[in-house]
Amino acid sequence: MPDLDPQMAAILERMEAATAGQPDFTTLSPAAARAQMAAGDAYWNDDPPALPRVEDVVVGGVAARLYDPGVASPAPAILYMHGGGWVICSLDSHDAYCRALALSTRAVVVSLDYRLAPEHPFPAALEDCLAAIRWLAGEGGALGLDPARLAIAGDSAGANLALATCLALRDSGEAPVHAGLLIYGIFGDDLSTPSQRAYGEGYVLTTAKMRWFFDHYVPDRGLRRDPPVSPLYADLTGLPPLYLNAAEFDPLCDDAVELASRLAAAGQPHEFKLWPGVTHGFMRMSRDLDVARDANEDAAGFLRRALA
Protein backbone atom coordinates (compact mmCIF):
# COMPACT_ATOMS: atom_id res chain seq x y z
CA MET A 1 0.00 0.00 0.00
CA PRO A 2 2.64 2.55 -1.03
CA ASP A 3 0.24 5.47 -1.47
CA LEU A 4 -1.47 5.11 1.88
CA ASP A 5 -0.47 7.33 4.77
CA PRO A 6 1.87 5.11 6.85
CA GLN A 7 -0.30 5.51 9.94
CA MET A 8 -3.38 4.62 7.89
CA ALA A 9 -1.62 1.51 6.55
CA ALA A 10 -0.78 0.43 10.10
CA ILE A 11 -4.40 0.90 11.15
CA LEU A 12 -5.62 -1.24 8.26
CA GLU A 13 -3.14 -3.98 9.16
CA ARG A 14 -4.33 -3.98 12.76
CA MET A 15 -7.99 -4.01 11.68
CA GLU A 16 -7.33 -6.92 9.34
CA ALA A 17 -5.63 -8.90 12.11
CA ALA A 18 -8.44 -8.14 14.57
CA THR A 19 -11.13 -9.35 12.17
CA ALA A 20 -9.31 -12.43 10.84
CA GLY A 21 -11.72 -15.32 10.69
CA GLN A 22 -14.81 -13.16 11.08
CA PRO A 23 -17.47 -13.35 8.37
CA ASP A 24 -18.03 -10.34 6.17
CA PHE A 25 -20.97 -8.57 7.74
CA THR A 26 -22.84 -8.61 4.43
CA THR A 27 -23.35 -12.34 5.06
CA LEU A 28 -24.94 -11.67 8.45
CA SER A 29 -28.30 -10.48 9.62
CA PRO A 30 -28.45 -6.74 10.35
CA ALA A 31 -28.57 -7.45 14.08
CA ALA A 32 -25.49 -9.66 13.93
CA ALA A 33 -23.69 -7.15 11.72
CA ARG A 34 -24.38 -4.41 14.27
CA ALA A 35 -22.97 -6.51 17.07
CA GLN A 36 -19.84 -7.34 15.10
CA MET A 37 -19.24 -3.71 14.16
CA ALA A 38 -19.84 -2.55 17.74
CA ALA A 39 -16.99 -4.75 18.93
CA GLY A 40 -14.65 -3.13 16.40
CA ASP A 41 -15.84 0.39 17.22
CA ALA A 42 -14.98 -0.06 20.90
CA TYR A 43 -11.31 0.70 20.21
CA TRP A 44 -12.08 4.13 18.77
CA ASN A 45 -14.29 4.99 21.75
CA ASP A 46 -11.90 3.91 24.47
CA ASP A 47 -11.10 6.66 27.01
CA PRO A 48 -13.19 9.39 25.32
CA PRO A 49 -12.69 13.06 26.21
CA ALA A 50 -14.62 14.25 29.23
CA LEU A 51 -17.33 16.89 28.90
CA PRO A 52 -19.19 18.87 31.56
CA ARG A 53 -22.50 17.44 30.36
CA VAL A 54 -23.44 14.34 28.39
CA GLU A 55 -27.13 13.53 28.55
CA ASP A 56 -29.58 11.27 26.77
CA VAL A 57 -32.51 13.38 25.56
CA VAL A 58 -35.49 13.22 23.20
CA VAL A 59 -35.76 15.74 20.36
CA GLY A 60 -38.86 15.77 18.19
CA GLY A 61 -39.84 12.37 19.53
CA VAL A 62 -36.48 10.85 18.56
CA ALA A 63 -33.88 9.60 21.04
CA ALA A 64 -30.60 11.51 21.01
CA ARG A 65 -27.49 12.19 23.06
CA LEU A 66 -26.49 15.74 23.94
CA TYR A 67 -22.81 16.70 24.30
CA ASP A 68 -22.25 20.05 26.03
CA PRO A 69 -18.64 21.31 26.10
CA GLY A 70 -19.53 23.93 28.68
CA VAL A 71 -20.49 26.89 26.48
CA ALA A 72 -22.75 29.66 27.72
CA SER A 73 -26.46 29.35 27.10
CA PRO A 74 -28.07 29.87 24.61
CA ALA A 75 -25.42 27.80 22.86
CA PRO A 76 -24.82 27.08 19.19
CA ALA A 77 -25.88 23.54 18.33
CA ILE A 78 -25.07 20.84 15.78
CA LEU A 79 -27.49 18.04 14.97
CA TYR A 80 -25.29 15.05 14.13
CA MET A 81 -26.25 11.89 12.21
CA HIS A 82 -23.89 8.94 12.55
CA GLY A 83 -22.76 6.86 9.59
CA GLY A 84 -23.22 3.15 9.08
CA GLY A 85 -25.06 2.80 5.79
CA TRP A 86 -28.44 3.52 7.43
CA VAL A 87 -28.20 -0.03 8.87
CA ILE A 88 -25.39 -0.28 11.45
CA CYS A 89 -23.65 1.96 14.02
CA SER A 90 -25.27 3.91 16.84
CA LEU A 91 -24.89 6.70 19.34
CA ASP A 92 -22.21 4.61 21.04
CA SER A 93 -20.17 4.00 17.88
CA HIS A 94 -19.72 7.76 17.40
CA ASP A 95 -19.55 8.76 21.06
CA ALA A 96 -15.88 9.78 21.19
CA TYR A 97 -16.17 11.55 17.86
CA CYS A 98 -19.16 13.62 18.98
CA ARG A 99 -17.40 14.53 22.22
CA ALA A 100 -14.38 15.75 20.25
CA LEU A 101 -16.61 17.65 17.81
CA ALA A 102 -18.32 19.47 20.66
CA LEU A 103 -14.98 20.46 22.19
CA SER A 104 -13.44 21.61 18.90
CA THR A 105 -16.45 23.60 17.70
CA ARG A 106 -17.44 24.99 21.11
CA ALA A 107 -20.99 24.01 20.27
CA VAL A 108 -23.48 21.57 21.75
CA VAL A 109 -23.67 18.42 19.64
CA VAL A 110 -26.97 16.53 19.54
CA SER A 111 -26.29 13.05 18.15
CA LEU A 112 -29.47 11.52 16.73
CA ASP A 113 -30.48 7.89 17.26
CA TYR A 114 -32.50 7.76 14.04
CA ARG A 115 -34.31 4.57 13.07
CA LEU A 116 -32.27 1.99 11.18
CA ALA A 117 -33.08 -0.15 8.16
CA PRO A 118 -34.21 -2.74 7.25
CA GLU A 119 -36.58 -2.65 10.22
CA HIS A 120 -37.32 0.96 9.25
CA PRO A 121 -36.49 1.51 5.57
CA PHE A 122 -36.48 4.82 3.71
CA PRO A 123 -37.88 7.37 4.50
CA ALA A 124 -37.97 6.62 8.25
CA ALA A 125 -34.46 7.90 9.03
CA LEU A 126 -35.02 11.10 7.05
CA GLU A 127 -38.33 11.66 8.80
CA ASP A 128 -36.52 11.40 12.15
CA CYS A 129 -33.93 13.94 11.05
CA LEU A 130 -36.61 16.39 9.98
CA ALA A 131 -38.55 15.95 13.21
CA ALA A 132 -35.39 16.54 15.25
CA ILE A 133 -34.17 19.63 13.41
CA ARG A 134 -37.64 21.19 13.49
CA TRP A 135 -37.89 20.55 17.23
CA LEU A 136 -34.46 22.08 17.85
CA ALA A 137 -35.42 25.13 15.80
CA GLY A 138 -38.66 25.60 17.72
CA GLU A 139 -38.03 24.13 21.16
CA GLY A 140 -34.24 23.93 21.48
CA GLY A 141 -34.23 26.75 23.99
CA ALA A 142 -35.52 24.23 26.53
CA LEU A 143 -32.11 22.53 26.28
CA GLY A 144 -30.19 25.80 26.43
CA LEU A 145 -29.67 25.96 22.65
CA ASP A 146 -29.79 28.94 20.31
CA PRO A 147 -32.11 28.27 17.33
CA ALA A 148 -30.40 31.13 15.47
CA ARG A 149 -27.12 29.18 15.49
CA LEU A 150 -28.06 25.72 14.34
CA ALA A 151 -26.00 23.45 12.05
CA ILE A 152 -26.45 19.92 10.75
CA ALA A 153 -23.72 17.35 10.22
CA GLY A 154 -23.07 13.70 9.51
CA ASP A 155 -20.63 11.16 8.15
CA SER A 156 -21.24 8.65 5.34
CA ALA A 157 -24.95 7.75 5.47
CA GLY A 158 -25.28 10.49 8.07
CA ALA A 159 -23.97 13.02 5.55
CA ASN A 160 -26.57 11.74 3.10
CA LEU A 161 -29.28 12.34 5.70
CA ALA A 162 -27.91 15.78 6.58
CA LEU A 163 -27.99 16.95 2.97
CA ALA A 164 -31.38 15.36 2.30
CA THR A 165 -32.71 17.16 5.38
CA CYS A 166 -31.43 20.50 4.08
CA LEU A 167 -33.10 19.87 0.73
CA ALA A 168 -36.42 18.95 2.35
CA LEU A 169 -36.36 22.05 4.55
CA ARG A 170 -35.61 24.27 1.56
CA ASP A 171 -38.43 22.71 -0.44
CA SER A 172 -40.88 23.36 2.40
CA GLY A 173 -39.77 26.97 2.78
CA GLU A 174 -38.00 26.46 6.10
CA ALA A 175 -34.50 27.70 6.85
CA PRO A 176 -33.46 26.71 10.39
CA VAL A 177 -30.05 25.34 9.39
CA HIS A 178 -27.20 27.84 9.06
CA ALA A 179 -24.45 25.44 7.97
CA GLY A 180 -23.95 21.82 6.96
CA LEU A 181 -20.97 19.50 7.50
CA LEU A 182 -20.88 16.51 5.13
CA ILE A 183 -18.15 13.97 5.90
CA TYR A 184 -17.28 11.45 3.15
CA GLY A 185 -20.93 11.11 2.30
CA ILE A 186 -23.11 8.81 0.23
CA PHE A 187 -24.65 11.17 -2.29
CA GLY A 188 -25.67 8.89 -5.17
CA ASP A 189 -26.51 5.30 -6.01
CA ASP A 190 -23.86 4.69 -8.69
CA LEU A 191 -21.68 1.78 -7.55
CA SER A 192 -19.60 1.75 -10.76
CA THR A 193 -17.75 5.07 -10.39
CA PRO A 194 -13.95 5.11 -10.84
CA SER A 195 -13.45 5.33 -7.06
CA GLN A 196 -15.80 2.39 -6.52
CA ARG A 197 -13.80 0.37 -9.03
CA ALA A 198 -10.42 1.43 -7.61
CA TYR A 199 -11.14 1.28 -3.87
CA GLY A 200 -14.26 -0.88 -3.58
CA GLU A 201 -12.37 -3.74 -1.98
CA GLY A 202 -9.70 -3.77 0.73
CA TYR A 203 -10.13 -0.23 2.11
CA VAL A 204 -12.63 -0.46 5.02
CA LEU A 205 -15.78 0.32 3.03
CA THR A 206 -16.45 -1.97 0.07
CA THR A 207 -18.75 -1.87 -2.92
CA ALA A 208 -20.35 -5.08 -1.66
CA LYS A 209 -21.16 -3.36 1.63
CA MET A 210 -22.62 -0.39 -0.22
CA ARG A 211 -24.87 -2.72 -2.22
CA TRP A 212 -25.96 -4.40 1.06
CA PHE A 213 -26.72 -1.02 2.61
CA PHE A 214 -28.82 0.16 -0.33
CA ASP A 215 -30.71 -3.13 -0.48
CA HIS A 216 -31.72 -2.72 3.16
CA TYR A 217 -32.37 1.03 3.15
CA VAL A 218 -34.13 1.39 -0.21
CA PRO A 219 -35.31 -2.03 -1.37
CA ASP A 220 -37.36 -0.34 -4.11
CA ARG A 221 -34.68 0.30 -6.73
CA GLY A 222 -36.97 2.73 -8.51
CA LEU A 223 -36.55 5.21 -5.65
CA ARG A 224 -32.76 5.21 -5.49
CA ARG A 225 -32.20 8.16 -7.82
CA ASP A 226 -34.82 10.32 -6.13
CA PRO A 227 -33.15 13.34 -4.46
CA PRO A 228 -34.11 12.33 -0.88
CA VAL A 229 -32.07 9.14 -1.42
CA SER A 230 -29.46 10.43 -3.88
CA PRO A 231 -29.14 14.19 -3.25
CA LEU A 232 -26.43 14.38 -5.91
CA TYR A 233 -29.26 14.58 -8.45
CA ALA A 234 -31.20 17.35 -6.68
CA ASP A 235 -31.47 21.04 -7.40
CA LEU A 236 -28.61 22.23 -5.19
CA THR A 237 -29.49 25.92 -4.95
CA GLY A 238 -30.83 27.70 -1.90
CA LEU A 239 -29.00 25.62 0.69
CA PRO A 240 -27.02 26.80 3.72
CA PRO A 241 -23.23 27.01 3.34
CA LEU A 242 -21.79 23.50 3.20
CA TYR A 243 -18.44 21.92 4.04
CA LEU A 244 -17.77 18.55 2.46
CA ASN A 245 -14.74 16.34 2.43
CA ALA A 246 -13.59 13.07 0.91
CA ALA A 247 -10.99 10.41 1.59
CA GLU A 248 -8.75 9.38 -1.31
CA PHE A 249 -8.93 5.59 -0.71
CA ASP A 250 -12.71 5.53 -0.41
CA PRO A 251 -15.21 4.09 -2.89
CA LEU A 252 -17.37 7.12 -2.06
CA CYS A 253 -14.67 9.63 -3.05
CA ASP A 254 -16.24 10.37 -6.43
CA ASP A 255 -19.60 11.08 -4.79
CA ALA A 256 -18.09 14.02 -2.93
CA VAL A 257 -16.00 15.21 -5.88
CA GLU A 258 -19.08 15.22 -8.11
CA LEU A 259 -21.21 16.92 -5.47
CA ALA A 260 -18.62 19.68 -5.07
CA SER A 261 -18.62 20.18 -8.83
CA ARG A 262 -22.40 20.41 -8.95
CA LEU A 263 -22.50 22.80 -6.00
CA ALA A 264 -20.02 25.04 -7.79
CA ALA A 265 -22.08 24.95 -10.99
CA ALA A 266 -25.18 25.88 -8.98
CA GLY A 267 -23.42 28.82 -7.33
CA GLN A 268 -23.98 27.22 -3.93
CA PRO A 269 -21.56 28.42 -1.18
CA HIS A 270 -19.40 25.52 -0.08
CA GLU A 271 -15.93 24.34 0.87
CA PHE A 272 -14.45 21.04 -0.29
CA LYS A 273 -11.39 19.19 0.95
CA LEU A 274 -9.96 15.92 -0.40
CA TRP A 275 -7.68 14.20 2.13
CA PRO A 276 -4.99 12.02 0.49
CA GLY A 277 -3.70 8.71 1.77
CA VAL A 278 -6.67 7.81 3.96
CA THR A 279 -9.76 5.60 3.81
CA HIS A 280 -13.44 5.90 4.59
CA GLY A 281 -14.00 6.39 8.31
CA PHE A 282 -10.65 8.09 8.93
CA MET A 283 -12.12 11.06 10.81
CA ARG A 284 -12.90 8.81 13.80
CA MET A 285 -9.33 7.48 13.95
CA SER A 286 -7.63 10.55 15.38
CA ARG A 287 -6.11 8.68 18.35
CA ASP A 288 -3.76 6.93 15.88
CA LEU A 289 -3.88 9.13 12.77
CA ASP A 290 -2.37 12.60 12.59
CA VAL A 291 -4.17 13.54 9.38
CA ALA A 292 -7.50 12.82 11.09
CA ARG A 293 -6.70 15.44 13.70
CA ASP A 294 -5.91 17.93 10.93
CA ALA A 295 -9.12 17.07 9.07
CA ASN A 296 -11.25 17.37 12.18
CA GLU A 297 -9.80 20.76 13.02
CA ASP A 298 -10.40 21.96 9.44
CA ALA A 299 -14.06 20.89 9.61
CA ALA A 300 -14.49 22.31 13.10
CA GLY A 301 -13.08 25.63 11.95
CA PHE A 302 -15.78 25.86 9.31
CA LEU A 303 -18.50 25.26 11.90
CA ARG A 304 -16.99 27.70 14.39
CA ARG A 305 -17.04 30.43 11.74
CA ALA A 306 -20.54 29.55 10.59
CA LEU A 307 -21.99 29.53 14.11
CA ALA A 308 -20.12 32.52 15.54
Out of 146, 250, 254, 255, pick the active-site residue.
Answer: 250
Order across the sheet with 270-279: list the strands.
Answer: 53-59, 62-68, 108-112, 75-81, 145-155, 179-183, 242-249, 270-279
The CA distance from 160 to 154, in Å, is: 8
Out of 156, 195, 230, 286, pick the active-site residue.
Answer: 156
Distances (CA, A) of 282 to 199, 275, 287, 300: 15, 10, 10, 15
The residue count of the chain comes to: 308
Three-class SS state of 48: coil
Asked if 82 is an active-site residue, the reply is: no
Asked if 215 is an active-site residue, the reply is: no
Which amino acid type is present at position 148?
A
Residue 102 and residue 48 in contact, taking contact as beta carbons nearer than 8 Å = no
Which amino acid type is present at position 245?
N
Asked if 156 is an active-site residue, the reply is: yes
Out of 94, 216, 270, 280, pick the active-site residue.
Answer: 280
Known catalytic residues are 156, 250, 280
